Structure 1
């Protein structure tokens, strides 16, 4: 790990030998091209740093540690030179969210701080944390499918603590899928800020469900200000999972879903928010709204989801209040799967365990090999096969699937083979 880290740091210094000057273009475009709030600096800076380092194949743990260290240095700086001037009353009204910063100069400063961290660490590399004791092989695949645009976003963050500066000794990993509609702005925003907002909640360890609900609510409020100042109209469903100690907490808005598989059996974690769900229908009607059928059930004849980030033209009918559920893990769980409705519209949760098992047993995979790299290669192909199955089953929507293995895939295959043999012997 240290050798790979030093090699990367050396390459980065060679590529960027000098700091960026005012007016110089950033190596990558920031998410916000004009303005961002102080609350958005955390998420957008980390996103820019992670994206920049990922394109240069930085080791994941090194990447997250560098971004966190750089953000800490950035927040020590005087950012007042980057404050946006209040030009008129409308602009002043926009600043109900607080101070707005010029985005590109702020992110240029972040990049220069990242470069300084790189040079410092090349001279004296800090201790890198040991690999997680939890087996968290992650398989991800996403396709635009037949849709004109790709509006899904996903986040896989095994290094949650390292990226967000948490040092309480609690092991955490975070995974999320966001399914945008009316554009990808809301999905991108949620993928950038929800995990940051979650990490800032005081109740994160004592009451993770409450922390998740507050994080969703705050992210929705933050996006409302951005949507107003930039005239955005999009929305996004979302489902996020936090693995923390020996528990799994899922939180969701809308019809993206997460499910758990334990010893080959599907375990229900949640009930997606759909307009036709009886309690959702009653909630909307109590507010004075209605549910109408227009090819599918829609809120006030518009959106086909009853809860989402964004969709401010239909708030509070389309609610921004997330639901949560927490279960304790016993160690015999196989994996957790997160996916958008483009997957679950054609694949029932009960079908998933067999589909995953068949994919792992595919002779075209190197799963039968004994070495670790072969096992990882086999596991990482699973999401792609699930996405292909959903498409072949008739899905025309964007499809995103994230599979987080909680046990090595080869154990799942071995246990299934053992079960089949026992059943055959008992039949004799």
Structure 2
């Protein structure tokens, strides 16, 4: 396993280097391996054009028999293992838990990504209640998968990453739009009505909403879509690189947009839209929808060799910790665990303890961030996802 991991790491270094010849050789090798796997898959059904295949062996035209184990080994070289991550979400000093997190490794293999897997991570911070953020946890990754799989690449070889930026943006935007439309039809009775037939079982729903910071991670790019004041930070070579900007009502461009729509920014325990909402973008918030948009701001970052980790967190973390401090803490935590040869592992489910005798590096880092936020008297729910990009 370590040898495979090392070879994958060297492949990533080669792809990010400046040697164009090496890049061409690598792409050609991958294409040939993919053709070989396709031949193996077609032969695994038992017969091709009436020719019987022995169990576990498939014939490829001109290359001789290829065993199933060989095909699996080739696939493991082409498809890198999913990233190791750690996640922790706590109620903190609030009475109700309104934060939700969502992690979907190997969400799908869309054509726009060269049919290679993409990984989904999301933090949703509800306000006015937990219902909208819970709905985001259940449905956002579903919409994202559907929209990404719907994208086709016309002619030539697919980009395998962020080459066609506009297609990625449109797919992510549509996911947020569909999520917002569903949230606006949400009812406390559990039904989701049509836009013309909205259940009025509780007027509280008109003031319910959620932030959403979502990251789609591929082997070459990091896509981050942010709507609200949750945040995404990349740690690269020990430095914090913001991948999102908080949507606060007093942000100059957000204030201009809200006032241009006829809204007002009223200062009541901080800047608030119409004196109610402390963020300028959110999913839901039916009564404020005229001024509070669900359209995300999207950043696209090409991965580099020095990328260490990606941190997603709700404002319960960022209210008391700066991006730079959080990055430094995670950097030191990952370095310390690497020097002590702690074996990494991937979480098996959200918020749970994955398999293995000891926590992963990223899980330890997430726990440390939450403990520090609590120690600094954070008054909100705290949710953190730390994705180890190495």
TM range (shorter): 0.5 to 0.7
Structure having the larger proportion of residues in strand: 2
Aligned 8 A contact 1:289 1:299 in 2: yes
TM-score w.r.t. length of structure 2: 0.66
Matches within 5 A, 1:189-228: 189-201=135-147, 202-203=150-151, 206=164, 207-227=167-187, 228=198
Aligned to 2:90: 143
Number of residue pairs aligned between Structure 1 and Structure 2: 278
Segments of 5+ residues of structure 1 without an aligned counterpart are 1-126, 408-428
- Alignment deviations for residues 244-293 of structure 1 (CA, whole Å, 9 cap, x no partner): 24111100111001011111111121211111101111111111111111
Matching residue within 220, 236, 240 for 1:262? 236
Aligned to 2:227: 253
**With CA pairs under 8 Å and 6+ residues apart, which has the higher RCO, 1 or 2?**
2
Aligned to 1:48: none
Where 1:200 maps in the other structure, the secondary structure is helix
Aligned to 1:325: 299
Aligned 8 A contact 1:367 1:375 in 2: no
User: For residues 370 and 156 of structure 1, do their structure 2 counterparts lie closer, same or farther at Cα, with a shift above 3 Å needed?
Assistant: closer
User: For residues 316 and 376 of structure 1, do their structure 2 counterparts lie closer, same or farther at Cα, with a shift above 3 Å needed?
Assistant: same
Matching residue within 299, 302, 307 for 2:281? 307
How far the C-alpha of 1:366 sits from its partner, in A, is 9.3
In structure 2, C-alpha distance between the alignment counterparts of 1:370 and 1:219, rounded to whole Å: 39
Where 1:292 maps in the other structure, the secondary structure is strand
Structure having the larger proportion of residues in helix: 1
Q: Are 1:180 and 2:155 an aligned pair?
A: no
In structure 2, C-alpha distance between the alignment counterparts of 1:274 and 1:155, rounded to whole Å: 24
TM-score w.r.t. length of structure 1: 0.60
In structure 1, C-alpha distance between the alignment counterparts of 2:169 and 2:137, rounded to whole Å: 19
Tell me which stretches of 4 or more aligned residues in structure 1 moved more than 4 Å. 129-132, 164-168, 370-376
Segments of 5+ residues of structure 2 without an aligned counterpart are 1-71, 153-160, 188-197, 345-355
Greater shift in the superposed pair: 224-233 or 396-405: 224-233
Where 1:327 maps in the other structure, the secondary structure is strand
In structure 2, C-alpha distance between the alignment counterparts of 1:392 and 1:371, rounded to whole Å: 28
Q: Are 1:289 and 2:235 an aligned pair?
A: no
Matching residue within 359, 378, 381 for 1:395? 378
How far the C-alpha of 1:167 sits from its partner, in A, is 10
Aligned to 1:386: 369
- Alignment deviations for residues 215-258 of structure 1 (CA, whole Å, 9 cap, x no partner): 10111012212243354331000100001241111001110010
In structure 1, C-alpha distance between the alignment counterparts of 2:118 and 2:368, rounded to whole Å: 28
In structure 1, C-alpha distance between the alignment counterparts of 2:324 and 2:130, rounded to whole Å: 30
In structure 2, C-alpha distance between the alignment counterparts of 1:133 and 1:181, rounded to whole Å: 38
Aligned to 2:340: 368
CA RMSD of aligned residues (A): 2.7
Greater shift in the superposed pair: 238-247 or 164-173: 164-173
- Alignment deviations for residues 41-89 of structure 1 (CA, whole Å, 9 cap, x no partner): xxxxxxxxxxxxxxxxxxxxxxxxxxxxxxxxxxxxxxxxxxxxxxxxx
Aligned 8 A contact 1:161 1:167 in 2: no
Where 2:141 maps in the other structure, the secondary structure is helix
In structure 2, C-alpha distance between the alignment counterparts of 1:167 and 1:381, rounded to whole Å: 31
In structure 1, C-alpha distance between the alignment counterparts of 2:341 and 2:304, rounded to whole Å: 28
User: For residues 378 and 300 of structure 1, do their structure 2 counterparts lie closer, same or farther at Cα, with a shift above 3 Å needed?
Assistant: same
User: For residues 328 and 377 of structure 1, do their structure 2 counterparts lie closer, same or farther at Cα, with a shift above 3 Å needed?
Assistant: closer
- Alignment deviations for residues 301-335 of structure 1 (CA, whole Å, 9 cap, x no partner): 10111110000111121111111111111232101
